[in-house]
Structure 1
Amino acid sequence: MSYLKKYKLPLLWLRRHTSSRDFMLISSALVGFTAGMAAVILKTIVHYLYIMLAYGGRLFDRPVLLVVLPIIGILLTVVVVQLFFKGKVEGGTAGILYSIAQKSSIVRRSKMYSYVITSGITAGFGGSAGLESPIVVTGSAIGSNFGRSYHLNYRERTLLLACGAAAGVAAVFNAPVAGVLFAVEILLTDISIAAFIPLMIAAVVGTLCSTLTLDEDLLFYVGNVEGFKAGNIPFYMLLGALTGLISVYYTRTVHWIENIFEPLSGNVYKRALIGGLCLGLLIMLFPPLFGQGYESIKMLQRDHADLLLEDSWLNFFGTNEWLIVGFTGALALVKVIASTLTMASGGKGGNFGPSMFVGAFAGFFFSKLINLTELGNVPIHSFTMVGMAGILSGVMHAPLMGIFLIAEITGGYTLMIPLMVVSATSYAVVKYFEPYSLEAKKLAQRGELLTHNKDTTVLRIMKIRHLIETEFQPVSPDATLRELVEVIAHSRRNLFPVVNTKGTLEGIILLEDIREIMFKTDKYDLVKTKELMVKPPVLVQHDDSMAEVMKKFDESGAWNLPVVEGEKYLGFVSKSSIFTKYRKLLIKTTNV
């Protein structure tokens, strides 16, 4: 505790004695450093564990271990999650989007380290998942909790959350521009120019962490690309269309497999065994699926695609160009299944790395096929790299990030035009079939996703349960007019719910509807409230989205509507309370 106090005291002093802008710049650098070092640690551990198991120990010489190790990794991950994190290590990048949209950018403290531990176990033992999403979660949690520690507001906390994510991505790929664009395209729905400065600082600091501490083998850098030729534009357009269709396949396959495993969510160990066994068998058939797959991508870039067959059962048929083409094309498709099995069965990881794997193999397959069929003579290395941008753009719905990430990985902008052509084409194809990215799709279906439409964003943040007004005085359907008048005399409202003994709403009474009869004292003991009530124009369910509530207000023309849970009366919601809350949230969420 004393260490934490020493750490916080200088920053508390800075918080009090510097402007908000200066404190944010200092904070972004600190968050970037912490997130960058977390990425370095995770990347280093998994890399050397993978090298030791897969190559140093010649794991591929013992195919049975290809089945056993992923199962062990997934089971260990599940055990750690259940014993040490109470089963609460969930969400990935989608969880961060949910935190921004529904939890005021507050991320659980345990996510600062839980994903590093669990994803390291999963990937280290051969799970076919990426580390980038766990690093994004870790960096986001670091930024969010830094903001909470110094009592920053929602906008500042959201910006630091994005800084942590940007630093993590930048550190993994040594790509600061891609880190910034990842935060802008995926996490932040509304951003001011001033917010770019903290994001850039965090991304640069994160990049320096990896550049100064990681060996070249750990940095995914490729320099072997050929120059751009205008004559290849039609082929790049075709590659963009292909990667767009594969991205649609990717998204739908992920959700299909997740739905298959959903009934097993009650028994996490059974799910881990079944999913781990399926994954292990798939890896035994396609050994390059073991682990993240970056070593396999490097083999393609170094003209060693034939080595991919060396550890496969297909090696029995010898090595020829057509077999390599078929094998790489199949790998592009089955990688989706392998990575989804890894995560659906309880392993931890993300789809960022697998997307790059699929893109690289799709680009290699396409270009090799074009050359073998003599339809053209295209540069295979360039198409392999550009394919990664196509799948990233399609799966993540982040074309700018995909373009600049590959540009930075290849050490320049030689491929800028092909990257733009392929990413734009892929993104256009995907948007036609899938309006939301892979990570955002489920949140969008539940109405829990922030969008670039500010009105829609604010409405999705608002929850009906926070707007229910309960000071309306209920009356019994069997109460007399005298009793009703007594209730009216002690109420400031002009609307009265009629509720029976079971708590069910039977109707409502409007003061303006009974104003005339109220003064006829001779009817005080003769008329019952059930004779005076009317049915409400529409009922609002307690779990309705705010968009549904506003639609009901528009269609009914009412100013107040009753809220029920099933048939049980809870209270009323009014337009005035919604507008007041809307204005507050609009101010809160504007200009991150």
Structure 2
Amino acid sequence: MNKTAQIKKNHQFIKTRKLVIVSILIGFLSAFLGISLKKITEYYEELFFHQANLNPFFYILFPVFGLSVIYFLRQYLFKKKENKGIKEVFESSNSKTKNLPSYKIPSHTINGILTVIFGGSTGIEVSTVVATATIGSVAHQKENVFRQYKTELICAGVAAGITALFSSPIAGILFALEVISRKVTRAFVISNLIAVSIAFGLLAILNEKPLFTVTITTWHLRAIPYFILLGILAGINSVYLTKSVLFFKSQFAKIETHYHKIILGSIILSISLFIFPQLYGEGYHAIKTIINTNNEIPLTLTLGLSFAGVLFLKPIVTSVTLASGGDGGVFAPSLFIGAFLGLLVASVLNTFFDTQIIPVNFMIIGMAAVLSASIHAPLTAIFLVCGLTNNYTLFFPILAACFISKYTAKMIYPNTVYTFVPSI
């Protein structure tokens, strides 16, 4: 009996040791891929956006060129298969037989970069999530000992990828838990802690800076009612984003000739970018601009209409980008919408009600609240946005706004773009 117990103990030790080793490998590869994606996208997006600002004709040329290249790559290089985004990860982690094929790594990586740098109004986050999830999926297939750890290894890849993009290991683990795994096992804890530690270590070695440089010093208790208001508005805006994505995808699916989708999508995208250049790509450049601008800008009719126009058009151009073949998701659009919503709410309250609230605080809280409501993952949104700014001063207002926005959104519409299943 003792001998049997010893054999089992040795076998478990070997399994744990192999799990640790593969988690280190997944963490490094996923983080390296995530950082590379972020750096390449930032560099070329800035380059092409600058050229489009100098010559507005490029607002017409870039979207049709980018979507066309993605289409031909899918047709002739990536087995003529559409990318389904995070739903692919759900399908794989919930199935014993369905795995993420290795070509998903270059497919999502290349298509995600091309979508954003040529003006597609989305972000590389979902492309990174699927590509890094595929790293975990491929690893689990390599040895029989990993067969039972499929979901855990997929989550390890995802957690490391999110950590690399947003400099927040906690957000990486929470996203893997809240959105993908939804359960905690011993293997999940071991693999994900190791993967995000490797990813965060790589960020430290490369001296990666937070995405947004923000100075946040304080917040006031008298602003709590306005945080609640912002949370409710964020929930409503997130539902508008979700419904827009689902609506345009269903409408574009009725168009049989794919190149007609590209032409129609490019027309809508080009016109929108020409009117509001802030909608180009991820939109982080626009967020940085309004964060760095003097926050006490008086709200004029023109400025108010501009903010309203951006908030109205962003979900539409994001939806059209995805429906016409672009690769991406709702992470970056949610952060973008939240920043502009927060600034608009703060400007209206300060201009018409003399509330004297701090606009940059509302921008940061708005980013977290809209993201929370869009993906129904408040804890992920809280730590992700705090990681983005490397500042936890607003932790409690963000916490309140994120839960309010999530439950507001769920009351209006229970699905996200990830959980919606079309009726047949």
- TM-score bracket for this pair, using the shorter chain length: over 0.9
Q: Which residue does 1:523 correspond to in 2?
A: none
Larger Rg: 1
Q: Which residue does 1:421 correspond to in 2?
A: 400
Q: Which residue does 2:3 correspond to in 1?
A: none
C-alpha distance in 2 between matches for 1:258 and 1:350 = 12
C-alpha distance in 2 between matches for 1:433 and 1:123 = 30
Question: What percentage of residue pairs aligned between the two structures are identical?
Answer: 28
Q: Which residue does 2:275 correspond to in 1?
A: 285
C-alpha distance in 2 between matches for 1:389 and 1:118 = 26
Q: What pairs with 1:266-415 in structure 2 (closer than 5 Å)?
A: 266-303=256-293, 321-415=300-394
The AA in structure 2 aligned to 1:189 is R
1:45 pairs, out of 23, 40, 54, with 40
C-alpha deviation, 1:333, in angstroms:
2.5
Q: 1:407-432, CA deviations, whole angstroms, 9 ceiling, x for partnerless residues? A: 22222321111011100110111111
C-alpha distance in 2 between matches for 1:107 and 1:83 = 19
Structure 2 contact 216–391 (Cα < 8 Å) conserved: no
C-alpha distance in 2 between matches for 1:355 and 1:155 = 35
C-alpha distance in 1 between matches for 2:118 and 2:68 = 10
1:192 pairs, out of 174, 185, 189, with 185
Find the residue that maps to 1:263 and give its secondary structure: coil
C-alpha distance in 2 between matches for 1:72 and 1:269 = 12
C-alpha deviation, 1:119, in angstroms:
1.1
C-alpha deviation, 1:103, in angstroms:
4.9
Find the residue that maps to 2:252 and give its secondary structure: helix
C-alpha distance in 2 between matches for 1:162 and 1:141 = 10
Q: Which residue does 1:249 correspond to in 2?
A: 240
Change (3 A) 1:221 1:155: farther
Structure 1 contact 118–348 (Cα < 8 Å) conserved: yes
Q: How many residues of Structure 1 are paired with residues of Structure 2 in the alignment?
A: 415
TM-score (normalised: structure 1): 0.67
Q: Which residue does 1:177 correspond to in 2?
A: 170
Task: Say if 2:206 is the partner of 1:204.
Answer: no
Q: Which residue does 1:456 correspond to in 2?
A: none
C-alpha deviation, 1:27, in angstroms:
1.4
- The answer to which structure, 1 or 2, has the higher relative contact order (CA under 8 A, 6+ apart) is 2
Unaligned runs of 5+ residues in structure 1 are 1-14, 308-318, 447-592
Q: Which structure carries more strand by proportion? A: 1
C-alpha distance in 2 between matches for 1:322 and 1:406 = 30
C-alpha distance in 2 between matches for 1:230 and 1:101 = 44
Q: What pairs with 1:29-178 in structure 2 (closer than 5 Å)?
A: 29-55=24-50, 57=51, 59-104=52-97, 106-178=99-171
The AA in structure 2 aligned to 1:433 is I
Q: Which residue does 2:254 correspond to in 1?
A: 263
Find the residue that maps to 2:408 and give its secondary structure: helix
C-alpha deviation, 1:154, in angstroms:
4.4
C-alpha deviation, 1:230, in angstroms:
1.0
C-alpha distance in 2 between matches for 1:79 and 1:101 = 31
Unaligned runs of 5+ residues in structure 2 are 1-9
C-alpha distance in 2 between matches for 1:79 and 1:111 = 16
User: Which of 196-205 and 350-359 deviates more?
Assistant: 196-205
Q: Which residue does 1:19 correspond to in 2?
A: 14
